[in-house]
A and B are shown apart, each in its own frame.
Chain A
C-alpha cells in the first residue's frame, strides 16, 4: 500500500522525517519496503495552452501544435492525441531537463520544427501513465510554473500490510498506528452534510437477499451533480496512491476508500432500474459487462448487486458498465456496504480480477464504518460536484457485529515474552491502539475490541499488540540452553548424512532435481509404468507435470546436460523421494539413492584415452556400491541378472544387500543414451535408501586375526565363458578349508589359442591358520583340492605355472 506522508499528517501530528516514520512502522509490524520521492522542482516547466493543432504533414501519429507559454507561442510536435484546442498541459521548453534526465532540445521531427515538449505524467516522474499528455484544469493561468500547480515533491512510503490487518489498508488506519506509537491523538474529520428536502428512502429501496454474504448495505442519493475533473490536490493524492483520477464523483469514492479503507461505489442513479437495489447471489447463466469493458459470465456463489432486472455490479469487486458514471450523469447512487471476505475472495480469484476494492473486502472491512464512509463521500461529492445530498441513508444492517471482550493476564504476558513490562505500560499500549481497557485488577485487564480489529480474538492477539508497540528489540536475548529430550532420535537423518559423506568420499558429487518431471522424460526411459505415476492435476508446466517415480530419468538428463557442456567424465549421486501410485490410488513415497557414472572414471589420468569396455563402468559402479555398503556395514552385496527397462539387455542386475532386495543397476539402455549423445557406456544404479542405510548400520563384529604367516598359491585356469567369477570363487570356498583366507583375481585374458568361447582366469589364494604355522605341504594339499574341484565342477583346464 502506498502512504503519502503529507496525507498521513492530516490525521496525526508528528515531528519525524519520512525515514523515521518508516522505521517506526517497520518495527511495529507494517514493513516499509521502500520510500519514494515523487515529483521534482520542475524548473522551466510551465502551464502551456494549446492554441492550434494541425496534422503532421509526413507522420500520421504526430500532430503539430502551437503552444503558448504565457509570453511566446512555440511550435511543438506531439505524439499524443488526447487533447484539443484550449487544453492546458505541462510544457517543457528548450533547455529544460526532465526528471528522467532527458533534456529538451530544439529539434526537427520528421522535418517539422519543435521547440518544446508537452509532457505525460511518466515523463514528469509523477506516475507510470503514458497514455497521453497530462491535462491540467483550464482555469489555471497560462505560463504558471508547473511546480505551483503540482506542489512540492511528495514522499510516499510503500507498505507491506500483513494479511490480518485490514484496518491498516488506509491512511487513517496507518495514522492510528503512528498515533499509538507516538502516544498522540488521532484526528478524524467529522463529515458535514447539508441535506436537501428530497428523501433518500423515496428514491431507492434496498433489499438484502443474501444476508450471510452482506452484513450491511447503505445507499445515499445525490441530485444535480456537475461532473468535472477533481481539483488538483485530490488528483495528486490519488495518483500518489497509484489510483488514476477519472472525474469528481468516482475520484471521491476512491479518495474516501484510500482515506478510511472502506471501498465505495457510485452508480448513475438514472441507470438503476426501478429504483431498486437487491443484494443477491447470482443465478447460473447470468453475466455482466464490467467497467473494464469485459463481459463476464457469473456463477452461482457470486454475490451481485442488482436492480429490479439486471446485475449492476459484482459486489465488492467491480461495478457494471451499464450503470457507470458518465458525461450525462446527473444523479448518483452511492453505495457503502460490507461484504463477506471469503465470498469476495472466491469471486475475485474465480474471475482473476483483483481490484483496490476486492483487495480490501477480502481482508474484511468494518460494518460499523459504513456510515462514516458514506457521509464522508457525500460531503466531498457535494463540495466538489455541487450536488444536493438527499436526506437520510437507506441503511439495511442485518449483520451487526456483537461486542467482543478479551482478557489479557499481566504475568502470562511477561512470561511469554520473557520481558519485564509493567502492568501500566501494557494498559497504556492497549489504550493507545484504541483497544480500550474497560476494567483491570492486579492480575489482568479486559479489553473492548473495536469492530475494526476483528483479528483480535484471544489473549495471544493482545500480547502481540503489546509487544509490537513495546518493541521486540526491547526484549533481551536469552542465552540458549541445551536440553536433551528423552527418547528423541534422528537416526534416519544421521544415517543418510553419513551415507552422503561416504559417497562424497568415494568421489561422487551430489545432484538435486525437482520432484516433478515431464511425462516425456519418464517415457523416454520407460513407457510401461504410466499406471504407477502420480500426475499433478494442476501443474505449473508440462515440464513439471508428473511426480517422479524413479531418480534414474533425471540422472540420465543430468549426465546428458553435463555432456552437452563438454563434461565428459563425472560420477553423480542423488538422494531423494520417488512417488508411486498404488492400485488403490494411495500414494507411496520412498527414499532412493541413485548413482550415475559416465566416462573413464576408474582409470588413472594416463590411461583415459583407451576405449571404455562395456564391463568397466558397470564394475566401477558395482565397486562403489560395495565400498559404500562395506564402509559401515557387513551385509554382502549380491547381484542377480535380471532384465530392466532402463538397462541394456544382459547388462543389468538386481542388487540385494545382506539378503534384502535393494534395487537395480546396470548399463543404461543404448538408445536412451544415444538420445543424449553419450558415446560410451554409462552405468546407473538405483537403490532403496532405507536398505542401504540399514545395511550400513551394523555394529562391527570383530574376528580374530591370525599371528601366523600366510602362504600363497596361484591358480590359473581356462574355463568356458559361461563360468562366472562368482561360480569360481564359490567352488573355491566350498572346497577349501577355513585356512583359505583370501581369493584375489589378478588376470583375465582371451586369445584365439584358448579356443572359441573360452577364457583364462588367474587367482591368487592366501592360506593362513589361526592356531599354527602352515607348512608347504598343507598349502599344496589345499591347492590341489581346489584345483580338483574346479576341474570337476567347471571342467576347468588348470594351467600349470
Chain B
C-alpha cells in the first residue's frame, strides 16, 4: 500500500467512524482498522519493506490513523452510549404527535375572505353595513319598481320598527355612494334575509357579496373582464365565463354571469345540471336613476355592480349538496375546510 492509498483509506475510516449509528458498528470499525489483525498492525509491519522515500510519510500516516480514528471512535462511543443511545430500542417515533392542531375557518368565511382578497388586488376595499335597513335603501334607492315582486311583504322580514332585514347587500352600496364622491371601488360582503322556506338550496338567512365600481368611464367590457378575472382566481385558470342579458332593477343593461363547470370542465355533469355552466352572479351597469338618487351626476359617471350568493359559491366550489350543512356546524364537516 503506498502513501496515497493509505491516505484515502484513512479518510474512509474516519467517515465510517463519523456515520456509525450504534456502538456495535464502532467496535467493528475499531477491529477493522486498529485491531490486532486490522490495518494498522499490517501497515506498521510493512514499514520496513517500504520504499525508503515513502517510509517516513507512511509512518506519519499510520500515526495519524491511530490518533485520529482512536479519538473519533472514543468520542462517538460516548455519544452513542449516552441515555438516548441506551433507550434507542424503546423510542417509538410512530406515537401520535403532541401539539395542538389548527382550527378551521367556516366555508362561508373562506369564500368571503378569498373573494375580498381577489378584489383587493384590483383596488377594491370592503364596505360593510347594518343588517337592519330602511325600506328606502333596500328598495327605492335601488330603483325597485313600486309593484316589483321583491317588495312583497311575504318575501321580506319587516320589523316592528318599520325597518327591515336587508334582502341584499346593495343598501351598503347606497350608503357608500351617499357618503363618498366617486370614484368608488367596494366589495360588500354580508348577511341577508328572505322569507324563504328552508330546503336543500334555500335558506332564509344567507350571505351575499356585491361589488360596485363607479368612475368616469366604466364600461360593460370592464365588467366582463373583471368577472372573468375573478372566476379564474376563485375557481382555477381554466374556468370560462359567459354572460346572458337579464333584468335587475338596479342595473341596466343587466347580465347574468355563468362560470363553466369546474367539475366536468363544461362537458356536463350533475353539478351543472348537464349544461356545462353554473349560474353564479347577477351584474350590470348601474342604472342612471340610482346615481341620481345618491346625488351623483349620471352624465359624469358610469359604473358596474355585481352580486352573488356566498352559500352558492361555497356549495359549488366545495361540492356541498345541502345548504343546511353550512349552518349545522358539525365539527366533522367544519374540520374539512383546512
Contact = CB atoms under 8 A, between A and B. Distances in A.
Given A513-B329, A537-B160, A463 B125 contact: no
A535 B220 CA distance: 43
- Residue of A485, A562, A587 with most chain B CB atoms under a 10 A cut-off: A485
B226 A480 contact: yes
Contacts of A410: none
Interface stretch (A387-395, A490-498, A633-641): A490-498
Interface stretch (A24-32, A140-148, A609-617, A734-742): A24-32
Given A480-B122, A485-B185, A540 B221 contact: no
Contact of A417 (B127, B147, B203, B221): B221
Given A509-B334, A510-B106, A515 B219 contact: no
B221 A418 contact: yes
B205 A515 contact: yes
B247 interface: yes
A236 interface: no
A567 B154 CA distance: 39
A10 B286 CA distance: 38
Given A510-B105, A565-B330, A463 B253 contact: yes
Interface string B19-32: 00000000000000
B244 A27 contact: yes
Contacts of B332: 565, 567
Contact of B123 (A418, A458, A482, A513): A482
Nearest to A555: B329
A540 B198 contact: yes
A544 B126 contact: no
A562 B329 contact: yes
A570 B253 CA distance: 49
A585 B160 CA distance: 9
B302 A475 contact: no
A164 to B, nearest CB: 5
Nearest to A571: B103
A308 interface: no
Interface string B169-198: 000000000001001111001010101111
Using C-beta atoms within 8 Å of the partner chain, give the interface range for chain A: 35 or more
Interface string B108-139: 11000100100001110111101110000000
A510 B246 contact: no
Interface in A502-536: 503-516, 534-536
B222 A418 contact: yes
B100 interface: yes
Contact of A478 (B153, B154, B224, B243): B224
B55 interface: no
Given A342-B146, A558-B329, A587-B161, A605 B228 contact: no
B147 A349 contact: no
B285 A468 contact: no
A509 B161 contact: no
A162 interface: yes
B210 interface: no
A489 B128 CA distance: 11
Contacts of B221: 417-419, 475-478
Interface in A557-594: 558, 561-562, 565, 567, 570-573, 576-577, 579, 585-587, 589
A772 interface: no
Contacts of A501: 105
A538 B243 CA distance: 37
B72 interface: no
Contacts of A163: 148-149, 247
- Residue of B148, B204, B226, B335 with most chain A CB atoms under a 10 A cut-off: B204
B217 A562 contact: no
A587 B163 contact: yes
Nearest to A602: B100
A510 B197 contact: no
A265 interface: no
B254 A478 contact: no
Contact of A537 (B146, B159, B198): B159
B102 A505 contact: yes
A565 B153 CA distance: 39
Interface in B236-259: 242-247, 252-256
A605 B100 contact: no
Contacts of B243: 472-473
Nearest to A467: B253
Nearest to B182: A485
A514 to B, nearest CB: 4
A534 B164 CA distance: 12
A447 B255 CA distance: 23
B104 interface: yes
A488 interface: yes
A164 B251 CA distance: 13
Nearest to A469: B245
A345 B123 contact: no
A428 interface: no
B217 to A, nearest CB: 6
B125 A417 contact: no
Contact of A488 (B122, B125, B197, B242): B125
Contacts of B252: 460-461, 463-464
B329 A512 contact: yes
B314 to A, nearest CB: 11
A472 B165 CA distance: 34
9 contacts: A31-B244, A418-B221, A468-B253, A489-B125, A538-B195, A540-B195, A570-B331, A571-B103, A579-B131
10 A-B pairs with the lowest CB-CB distances in the bound complex, closest first: A418-B221, A418-B219, A162-B247, A29-B245, A468-B245, A464-B253, A490-B126, A342-B147, A493-B126, A477-B225
Given A476-B224, A478-B221, A485-B185, 7 more contacts: A472-B243, A500-B109, A508-B103, A514-B205, A573-B103, A585-B160, A585-B161
Interface of A: 26-29, 31, 162-165, 341-342, 345-346, 349, 362, 415-419, 458-461, 463-464, 467-468, 472-473, 475-485, 487-490, 492-494, 497, 500-501, 503-516, 534-540, 544, 558, 561-562, 565, 567, 570-573, 576-577, 579, 585-587, 589, 604-605
Interface of B: 96, 98, 100-106, 108-109, 113, 116, 121-123, 125-128, 130-132, 146-149, 152-154, 157-161, 163, 165, 180, 183-186, 189, 191, 193, 195-198, 203-205, 215, 217, 219-222, 224-226, 228-229, 242-247, 252-256, 285, 287-289, 302, 326-332, 334-335
